[in-house]
Amino acid sequence: MRILILGGDGYLGWPTALHLSAAGHDVAVADNFARRGYDFEMGVDSLVPIEALQTRVAVWRELTGKPVAAYIGDLCDADFTAHMVADFAPDAIVHYAEQRAAPYSMVDRKHAVYTQTNNVVGTLNVLYAIAEINPDIHLVKLGTMGEYGTPNIDIEEGWLQIDHNGRTDRVLYPKRPGSFYHLSKVHDSHNIEFACRIWGIRATDLNQGVVYGQQTDETAADDRLATRYDYDAVFGTVLNRFVVQSVIGVPLTVYGNGGQTRGLIDIRDTVRCIQLACENPADRGEFRVFNQLTQTMSVLQIAETVAAASSEQVPIERLDNPRVEQEEHYYNVVYTGLADLGLEAHLLSDTLIDSLLSITKRYAHRVRPEAMLPTIQWRRTSSVISN
């Protein structure tokens, strides 16, 4: 297949490109390097050094003989997006190219507006390019489990059958997201479902849990192929933060009481899920949804797992929660679709021992402890606006 990966310079986009290339597909990546710019803006950096995209592409070709084409541009530029899709003529488009951090979207009005404009407009331009150039292209879009929030009922895979006043219908599962970033993903899902229903395109929406891990078989082949490892309070996942804290011997910082439950998935399983979705496309006119996770744990359970695996004796410390969220809630997720396609999951405990702790120890000299302290508050204080 010919597969175009949007956001192909990112944490997940780059390993996905290599995985699909290694599997025999013709791969192209597209990026505008905004993610690298966020680091400069926020004064943070990946724990593991990453090479320029041009270097990564050259190294992969040197090692494997497999070329990866690169398009440099912004999805919010409709002309660029249409030209890229027409030029590469993909069978599938994997869409990672969005601002993906909830805290970043909650900094202030400017960051909220940027997140929603960048994410929603970029996805709309992709949808129009598919509809106008080749409606047979299969869109594989990375959503998030955060779209659902924490409802007091089971979370189905994207759709819900309802019985109301003696009538039955199948509707998109109701969403209650927890940040302007997660809201942008909800808007994406609704726009994609609309395009499938009205234009007859095909799409798979992957509502992904928290991704952990920094290496795949392909990125581990050479240090110059490494992907990001974010641990800061803005872009880093809670798991990465705990691992880094355990290695440098400081308390693991749990927000609130730690009862927040999250879906988790190993990065190796993420790239495999993308491969399964691409090689088993949705039907024309189908908006297919998979919940992309392999296990669920509370934040406190994650902290306890990391503490138990660490060689250091590290305490667990509770901080006031900067987010507005339920800290104790029901959480039961259906995630059978990808397993039915053949996904065989890795477990968190295996990844901690095999990869994360050793990588963190190798680059511990690059840790900036102050970057892990939460500085962005979800709650806004009232103010008087004068003319």
List b or e across 362-377, with b for residues whose CB sees 16 or more CB atoms inside 10 angstroms: ebeeebeeebbebebe
Do residues 3 and 278 lie in contact, with contact meaning Cβ atoms separated by under 8 Å?
yes
Is 66 among the residues known to form the active site?
Answer: no
Q: For residue 156, what are its two tokens?
A: 């189905």
- Is 377 among the domain residues? no
- List 144, 216, 237, 351, catalytic entry: 144
Summarised one tens digit per residue, pLDDT across range 213-223 is: 999 999 999 99
Is 185 among the residues known to form the active site?
Answer: yes
Give residue 235's domain range.
2-372
Do residues 209 and 262 lie in contact, with contact meaning Cβ atoms separated by under 8 Å?
yes
What is the reported pLDDT for 353? 66
Do residues 86 and 266 lie in contact, with contact meaning Cβ atoms separated by under 8 Å?
no
pLDDT exceeds 60 at position 183: yes
CA dist 265 and 154 (Å) reads 19
Mean per-residue pLDDT for 142-164? Answer: 97
Mean per-residue pLDDT for 306-334? Answer: 94
Mean per-residue pLDDT for 37-66? Answer: 97
What is the reported pLDDT for 170? 97
What is the reported pLDDT for 380? 77
Do residues 131 and 198 lie in contact, with contact meaning Cβ atoms separated by under 8 Å?
no
What is the reported pLDDT for 311? 84
Summarised one tens digit per residue, pLDDT across range 109-118 is: 999 999 999 9
Summarised one tens digit per residue, pLDDT across range 282-305 is: 999 999 999 999 999 999 999 999
Tokens 């940040």 identify what position?
Answer: 179
Q: What one-character DSSP code corresponds to residue 264?
A: E
Do residues 326 and 257 lie in contact, with contact meaning Cβ atoms separated by under 8 Å?
no
- The closest alpha carbon to 375, from 169, 220, 235, belongs to 235
Do residues 299 and 260 lie in contact, with contact meaning Cβ atoms separated by under 8 Å?
yes
Q: How many domains does the chain have?
A: 1
Mean per-residue pLDDT for 337-360? Answer: 88
Summarised one tens digit per residue, pLDDT across range 270-288 is: 999 999 999 999 999 999 9
Summarised one tens digit per residue, pLDDT across range 242-274 is: 999 999 999 999 999 999 999 999 999 999 999
- List 71, 96, 181, 363, catalytic entry: 181
- Is 383 among the domain residues? no
pTM as predicted: 0.97
User: Backbone phi, then psi, for 164, in 5-degree steps?
Assistant: -140, 120
Do residues 93 and 274 lie in contact, with contact meaning Cβ atoms separated by under 8 Å?
no
Summarised one tens digit per residue, pLDDT across range 8-19 is: 999 999 999 999
Q: Identify the band that residue 355 occupies on the pLDDT scale cut at 50, 70 and 90.
A: confident
CA dist 293 and 271 (Å) reads 12
Give the contacts of 365 (CB within 8 A, at least 6 positions apart).
Answer: none
What is the reported pLDDT for 354? 66
Q: What one-character DSSP code corresponds to residue 356?
A: I
pLDDT exceeds 70 at position 385: no
- List 185, 219, 331, 363, catalytic entry: 185
Residue 261 is part of a domain; what is its CATH number?
A: 3.40.50.720
Mean per-residue pLDDT for 347-364? Answer: 86
- Is 384 among the domain residues? no
- Is 102 among the domain residues? yes
Number of H helices and number of E strands within the chain? Answer: 14, 14
- The closest alpha carbon to 230, from 52, 363, 54, 94, belongs to 363
Give the contacts of 199 (CB within 8 A, at least 6 positions apart).
Answer: 127, 131, 135
Q: Which residue would you say has higher pLDDT here, 43 or 381? A: 43
